[in-house]
Structure 1
Amino acid sequence: MTLLTEQDLIKIRRHLHQIPELALHEVQTHDYLLQVIESFKQYYLEIRVPEQSPTAILVLVKGKKPRRTIGYRTDIDALPVEEKTGLPFSSKHPGVMHACGHDVHMTVALGLLNYFSENQPQDNLLFFFQPAEESESGGKQAYEKGIFEDKWKPDEFYGLHDNPALLAGAIGCRMGTLFAGTTEVNIDLIGKSGHAAFPQNANDTVVAMASLIMQIQTIISRSIDPIQSGVITLGKVDAGTIRNVIAGHARIEGTIRGLTQKMILNIDHRLQDVCDGVARSFNMDVKLNLNQGGYWPVENNPDLTRSFIKYMKKQPDVNFIETEPAMTGEDFGYLLAKFPGVMFWLGVNDDSQLHSATLTPDEKSIQRGVDAIKGFLIYRMEN
């Protein structure tokens, strides 16, 4: 195969869009990706499907005179969303859609891999087609299962996320954190149920829950530096069965968002303090469960990010935009805590938001993304 054209890339993207699959079930996607990759010239390529993660794909591009191994990651899973775009290449899998644009992510990665299969790079390049970004912490799983060892270990890692708010093909980035880290919060209050007419014989978890919710709201306003950003949202509460029975159990479910791992751990600690205090005040058990998994803040490496931004700003064909941090989560943050690297935005110019059933990325972004990132990787290998 020779170099993929823009129309080739669009055709690949549309095929991927039709076969979305949920985390750790990306079988068709994996097989199609492998088919495309195996159609490239194989002189410089080594393909690996790790036994411990059978829907993942690693591709090592052997450099001419490698000084380092540069990693490039793309996520491959989709979301449990019923598509409503009306596109002729809409999802063929009911209730599942590439509503976060991972079809675009994969296509850009294939475009880059195709170029370097035809044009041997100076350094080694490691392409990681990662399952389970949307759930199940695929990046963390890959790291903990030992996928990145020996020649499969990158010295630095790069990856993109599409952004409907930016013009098609624009590159967005910033120093510091690009995406917040996220932690799931589950709190169970266990008291004693009883008749509404005899509250002295029960221990009302609804009253305790109300107090706990109000106290949790003070964590951000009184325990976090106001010039930094943190969020606690309690999105679901559940208690009781009928109006005249005091609830003996209540549950709160929510989420924490923070721009640094240090901040998230500080919020975690304060949340535990508040839960312990309410437990003592109301003489009941308050059980706090926190689940962050691999969704750490995406904290870009300062030196590599500075180099990335400097390059992109100098390119006449690149529309570079310095962006604000986003409070959405991304599991690439875990890998950036293990390997220095950079995550950046690729503009796809759409009125619909990410995770929307009507997300329709502008396909002109694909070739523009390939060209901008290819140029940066060549620049990085020369420096």
Structure 2
Amino acid sequence: MPVVNRIAEFSAEMARWRQHLHTIPELGQECHETAAFVAERLREFGVDEIHEGIARTGIVAIVNGQGPGPTIGLRADMDALPIPEATGVPYASQRPGKMHACGHDGHTTMLLGAAKYLAETRKFSGRVALIFQPAEETGGGAELMVEEGVMERFGISEVYALHNAPGFEAGAFYTTPGPIMAAVDTFHIHITGKGGHGAMPHETRDPVMAAVGIAQALQTIVSRNHYALNDLVLSVTQIHAGTADNVIPDTAYINGTVRTFDAEVQSMVRERMAAIVAGQAASFDVEAELDYQVGYPATINDPAKTEFAAEVAREVSGEGRVLADSGREMGAEDFAYMLNVRPGSYLFIGQGDSAGLHHPKYNFNDEIAPVGASFFARIVERAQPLAAR
């Protein structure tokens, strides 16, 4: 079964929705105009319930099927990124310094397309909860929605989400059972020494040299403190210090990210990092403070739900266009919080040849929106079929 015919019929309308959303990118939980647009469309579609203001600007909409049954959740993220747009498209961002560089405008559109179809046809039992989530990029909007009780409040029994994938065949899918995306932690290291003249380093306690030493030593955690076949990434991404060529500064700053799948590996990294920072600070006669912040957990797909989701994806996209055991990757995703409390699956849908995610020239491919909407619709119809009469 290819793209649902009815969804194909309004694909041009979906493109207009998406391109409008692209012009009004909003960050974090401040997705006010985006949420208002979503709510307006949902009212036009005639969904049964619209619950607004969850996690500040999130929405859960309910569509009732025909007859009793469970409630299935479908989630799309709505927020954008603080990146100046460089696409040159006619519908480019109207908000300087903000753009939809990760395709969340497309994700929202795919779920709106499914909402329109499901509200029209209702060829399923039970209910579907359409979850429009803010703050995926920053702020953990999924965690906030879970903490505000959306799973219990709406009786959601399982939950699914999609993310576009640049460089993968347009409209094809990939996923994997078990862990698919890594846990992400952030570290900040503040170093305090004693500044002075660059020509007289013996009178200083140089925080720059300490920063270099710490950054290099941290790499031994990956190379020497953990089993090489356990996935682990530790990247120093920022070092800031100094203002002039002949001045040794008083302070330096290091920032970076840690990606793991295993809680024991995560704990080991924290312990070793604390020891290295303290030891290097002592060796350079400076003070160093480590601020280690635990972020999104690993995104772990339920194996049975993922096998089912892959079957549905094959119906929509074709037998040879679904990779059901793609392996895991080191990016992170806050949908993890929803999968922590309900079984479900997270899948990628191919975007085709385009700029990468978080790139100023990225632009969602409108041709894949009907494919994603059809996947969402068929997940509901297959998971909760109408009872035979």
2:173 pairs with 1:171? yes
Higher RCO, 1 vs 2 (CA within 8 Å, ≥6 residues apart) = 2
Paired residues for 1:327-346 under 5 Å: 327-346=330-349
**Match for residue 304 of structure 1?**
305
Relative distance call for 1:237 and 1:299 in structure 2 (3 A) is same
Secondary structure, aligned partner of 2:139: coil
Relative distance call for 1:17 and 1:194 in structure 2 (3 A) is closer
Secondary structure, aligned partner of 1:39: helix
Question: Can you give the 5+ residue segments of structure 1 that lack an aligned partner in the other structure?
Answer: none
Structure 2 letter corresponding to 1:302: P
Structure 1 letter corresponding to 2:185: T
2:129 pairs with 1:122? no
Secondary structure, aligned partner of 1:49: strand
Residues of 2 paired with 1:218 and 1:339: CA distance? 37
Residues of 2 paired with 1:264 and 1:124: CA distance? 38
Residues of 2 paired with 1:195 and 1:2: CA distance? 69
Secondary structure, aligned partner of 1:167: coil
Residue of structure 1 aligned with 2:33, choices 28, 33, 38: 28
Relative distance call for 1:310 and 1:32 in structure 2 (3 A) is closer
Structure 1 letter corresponding to 2:144: Q
Residues of 2 paired with 1:252 and 1:212: CA distance? 9
Paired residues for 1:203-218 under 5 Å: 203-218=205-220
Paired residues for 1:83-102 under 5 Å: 83-102=85-104
Contact 2:172–2:349 (Cα < 8 Å) also in 1:
yes
TM superposition shift of 1:368: 1.5
Paired residues for 1:144-163 under 5 Å: 144=147, 146-148=148-150, 150-163=152-165
**Match for residue 362 of structure 1?**
365
TM superposition shift of 1:219: 0.6
Residues of 2 paired with 1:288 and 1:302: CA distance? 38
**Match for residue 3 of structure 2?**
none
Residue of structure 2 aligned with 1:19, choices 24, 30, 38: 24
Secondary structure, aligned partner of 2:236: strand
TM superposition shift of 1:338: 2.7
Relative distance call for 1:214 and 1:84 in structure 2 (3 A) is closer
**Match for residue 135 of structure 2?**
132
Structure 2 letter corresponding to 1:298: T
Q: CA RMSD in A?
A: 2.6
Residues of 2 paired with 1:329 and 1:358: CA distance? 22
Secondary structure, aligned partner of 1:327: coil
User: Any runs of at least 4 consecutive aligned residues in structure 1 with deviations exceeding 6 A, and if so which?
Assistant: 1-4
TM-score (norm 1): 0.89
Residues of 2 paired with 1:85 and 1:246: CA distance? 42
Contact 1:165–1:348 (Cα < 8 Å) also in 2:
yes
Question: Can you give the 5+ residue segments of structure 2 that lack an aligned partner in the other structure?
Answer: 1-5
**Match for residue 371 of structure 1?**
374
**Match for residue 272 of structure 1?**
274
Residue of structure 1 aligned with 2:43, choices 38, 43, 51: 38
Secondary structure, aligned partner of 1:136: coil
Structure 2 letter corresponding to 1:342: S
**Match for residue 229 of structure 2?**
227
Deviations 1:123-160 (A, max 9, x none): 3211111111111221122223x142543242222111
Residues of 2 paired with 1:104 and 1:196: CA distance? 53
Contact 2:70–2:155 (Cα < 8 Å) also in 1:
no
Residue of structure 1 aligned with 2:190, choices 188, 191, 196: 188
Q: Mean alpha-carbon deviation: is it higher for 301-310 or for 250-259?
A: 301-310
Relative distance call for 1:235 and 1:8 in structure 2 (3 A) is same
Contact 2:187–2:255 (Cα < 8 Å) also in 1:
yes
Contact 1:261–1:296 (Cα < 8 Å) also in 2:
no
Relative distance call for 1:63 and 1:270 in structure 2 (3 A) is farther
Q: Mean alpha-carbon deviation: is it higher for 59-68 or for 339-348?
A: 59-68
TM-score (norm 2): 0.88
Contact 1:10–1:363 (Cα < 8 Å) also in 2:
yes
Secondary structure, aligned partner of 2:150: coil
Residues of 1 paired with 2:116 and 2:140: CA distance? 28
Deviations 1:41-71 (A, max 9, x none): 24xx211113x53311111223444443211
Contact 2:110–2:373 (Cα < 8 Å) also in 1:
yes
Residues of 2 paired with 1:273 and 1:156: CA distance? 42
Relative distance call for 1:273 and 1:337 in structure 2 (3 A) is farther
Residues of 2 paired with 1:86 and 1:210: CA distance? 40
Contact 1:188–1:251 (Cα < 8 Å) also in 2:
yes
Q: Mean alpha-carbon deviation: is it higher for 340-349 or for 236-245?
A: 236-245
Secondary structure, aligned partner of 1:25: coil
Residues of 2 paired with 1:287 and 1:216: CA distance? 14
Q: Sequence identity, in percent?
A: 30
TM superposition shift of 1:359: 1.7
Residues of 1 paired with 2:316 and 2:34: CA distance? 34
Structure 1 letter corresponding to 2:134: P
Secondary structure, aligned partner of 2:378: helix
